[in-house]
Structure 1
Amino acid sequence: MPGGSSKRRRTRERDIERALQQGHFETVADQIMEVQGPAPNAWQPPADPLTGASGAMGSSDQEIKVQASFWNSQAGTTVSSSKPSRLQRQKHQLNQLAFDAKARDFELLEKRGTSLKTKRETYAKYGW
């Protein structure tokens, strides 16, 4: 109800709620739209960095890439780089910090993968 006062709007909303609770769906029939969700098979699980599509095992086999753009005063344009330079590492620039965070993330995932026991190993140790 456009242009109505807030009291009228609240009263109208309460009336609609009461009608819906009683099963009178025709009160909101003009407001119903057809909604289509995503296809049920559209979701794909994220790739595990430990196994990956390339079959790499662990972070030592993987190259870490963090894309960052910087202003190059000599060239007068922006420059993209995926690995931080020595100067960027010394100045603790954001791309170096992001690069380190990604490296630590891979290390933690690798440690987690090696520390988890299989069901067979757990059964052999505890018997359950």
Structure 2
Amino acid sequence: MSRVSSKKDPKYKSEATFYILIFVAMALLIIWYGFCLPAKEIEDKQKNRNIEIAEKLVENELNVGKQSYDMELRNDRSKDWLNKWTGENVECFVFTNGKRYKVIFDSKLVNGLDTYEIVKIKKMVERY
């Protein structure tokens, strides 16, 4: 047999398919890093900014220092994409001096992005 006829072997077809799949996977990974990663970084920066704003608003509202309270997102909705620090409807709980408060923040859209910035406290209710 000559070398030309051996290239029609199915073994070479599976090798070519493997290399094509590797190439496609690498291309998708490069596209993801190029487009999705910068958006994720912007959202993370906005999340950190919103947490700082929320802390300052709560400190001013309750007249307490930063070390004397604890703040967390609602447990039942913390995995929900609607209730995250960059979302439109941010609700959290604040624990201070043996009291528990439910805080709802008012937010505005930031530069047409899908992230929101906390503006003020819409409602603060003491929970028992």
Does the TM-score normalized on the shorter chain lie above 0.5?
no
* Structure index of larger Rg: 1
Q: TM-score by structure 1 length?
A: 0.21
Q: TM-score by structure 2 length?
A: 0.21
